[in-house]
Structure 1
């Protein structure tokens, strides 16, 4: 009997949500949105439509207003029940949600679902802003954000050029997994993190690893970065630079570990592009280039 009750609850929720009938949604009207993508959450708020979002996935932590919303789980490890329970008019995602069965389940429940593009390059991020602007009927606001985006990237390039840096430092990004308490190397695969490092005038350390898997101490030592960028969650979990160096596999054997060149950076500012990218690149420049990196005049 105890096993039947949860099933009945889910069945009732599914039937009640089925009234939406997968109809086309008009984004220009206020609605209840569940957002399963951190970049979509930031973009929707930036477009002035954040009041429509009633719940987000755990990775949606920007802006601060998003932290006040209910969460429905990690976007790659979702269950249908929390999403359905929010009684949304629309669920939006960026084609990177999981497990594989969750999308068919919430679709079968009758929820309206809409996928938007990614933001893994500057061009794709601007296309995403345009796409969202059209959907919500705020094209002018989207165009303004794209201008801010372009101006910020240009300012970052000027900031780097003004330093006159000749020798590029080798940098690795290390991230602490939220779900399995393992460390991962985010850089070395030409993803957003690597592109951000290059915009900041650095060279991503070559890491011999496959995908986002648990890091190998030997591979980290062989990559031998001059500086390690530790994402906020992992760094804060360690509590100090010395603890990070002594605990994270392979770090103590690198130049970064030996010279205590570990810097902390917000994780989400390294994994997608957006209107704040220029500011984030300037932050990286200030962290990664010491006065010793600048030629004497």
Structure 2
């Protein structure tokens, strides 16, 4: 990754935040063609797998940073990562009432009254976390600075790290790991099973006879920040498991996120753009997107084919992964 691409990817990591779903279909790859279609998650909030979780503690778990961490109390949980995965998982395990601190991406209605300890997206202040008197912190290396987390640990608070990798393949593993750290492994198994069933349901919604359309994940924050997703972006696995071809990967990109040029957009030739709702709004919606150089020269641009989805859920890859995939499948294949 070039220095500029690395800087842009860091900016991207701090901005995965917003909400909704709109889809316009494509042309070239034979997808359904239907103007603007809105798809939404069945529930605004994560659906708890249990209304009466009973953690069994203490529990000692292996942290991603190589330590063995003992958790003795989960009555005051702080869960922070750039995607909102851990906060969502806490709620989905039925422990939402125990969450006292969250990240910016954990933005569903039930979490809005909980203090946001990463107001800038990924930057954490140790004092603001310690002021919440947490009994455990769940995090990964997407949160900075590392010294803040070290300060929290030095104050006697157990800090458990998990892998920062996000994909469909790792979603249920992460659920089980978080559940184990919180003393509810059986609920983690149930939640993972439910998520797997929803993922399978979404995959079954992809018509077997549908020609594969080329879909490009386009991250935007105004016309000054446009990034094309590639291998490892997370969006690539969503696209592929929903019967599409990831345009960035097919074009030969080697980095998860690459700054967009007019030439790269035209060369990618996507049939559909996959975007975050806040990103699409930041360029002025569909009309504004059409004015971005290169967009109108793509099949997706000519057909106004865009699927946009809540910034807070699209790439979170946790207990709502299956629900996200079902919503996207409905948007991509409205007549199937």
Shared fold (TM-score, shorter chain, > 0.5): yes
Q: Which has the higher helix share?
A: 1
For residues 63-78 of structure 1, what are the structure 2 equivalents within 5 Å?
A: 64-73=109-118, 74-78=120-124
Root-mean-square deviation (Å): 2.8
For residues 101 and 55 of structure 1, the distance between their equivalents in structure 2, rounded to whole angstroms, comes to 18
For residues 83 and 286 of structure 1, the distance between their equivalents in structure 2, rounded to whole angstroms, comes to 40
Counterpart of 1:204? Answer: 246
Deviating beyond 4 angstroms after TM superposition, the runs of 4 or more aligned structure 1 residues are none
What is the CA-CA distance between 1:67 and the residue it aligns to?
Answer: 2.2
What is the CA-CA distance between 1:108 and the residue it aligns to?
Answer: 4.2
For residues 60 and 133 of structure 1, the distance between their equivalents in structure 2, rounded to whole angstroms, comes to 18
2:233 maps to which of 191, 195, 202: 191
2:295 maps to which of 232, 236, 251: 251
Counterpart of 1:274? Answer: 318
Report how many aligned residue pairs link the two structures.
Answer: 263
Larger RCO: 1 or 2 (CA < 8 Å, sep 6+)? 2
Counterpart of 2:286? Answer: 241
For residues 97-176 of structure 1, what are the structure 2 equivalents within 5 Å?
A: 97-118=143-164, 120-160=166-206, 163-176=207-220
Report which of the two structures shows the higher radius of gyration computed on alpha carbons: 1
For residues 219 and 195 of structure 1, the distance between their equivalents in structure 2, rounded to whole angstroms, comes to 21
- Checking the alignment, whether the CA contact within 8 Å between 2:219 and 2:275 is kept in structure 1 is yes
Unmatched runs of 5 consecutive residues or more in structure 2: 1-68
**Is 1:49 aligned to 2:95, yes or no?**
yes
Structure-2 change in CA distance of 1:102 and 1:215 (3 Å):
farther
Counterpart of 2:327? Answer: 283
Structure-2 change in CA distance of 1:58 and 1:276 (3 Å):
closer
What is the CA-CA distance between 1:149 and the residue it aligns to?
Answer: 1.2
- Checking the alignment, whether the CA contact within 8 Å between 1:90 and 1:111 is kept in structure 2 is yes
1:230 maps to which of 253, 275, 279: 275
2:80 maps to which of 36, 39, 42: 36
For residues 318 and 186 of structure 2, the distance between their equivalents in structure 1, rounded to whole angstroms, comes to 17
For residues 256 and 168 of structure 2, the distance between their equivalents in structure 1, rounded to whole angstroms, comes to 22
Structure-2 change in CA distance of 1:101 and 1:183 (3 Å):
farther
With normalisation by structure 1, the TM-score equals: 0.77
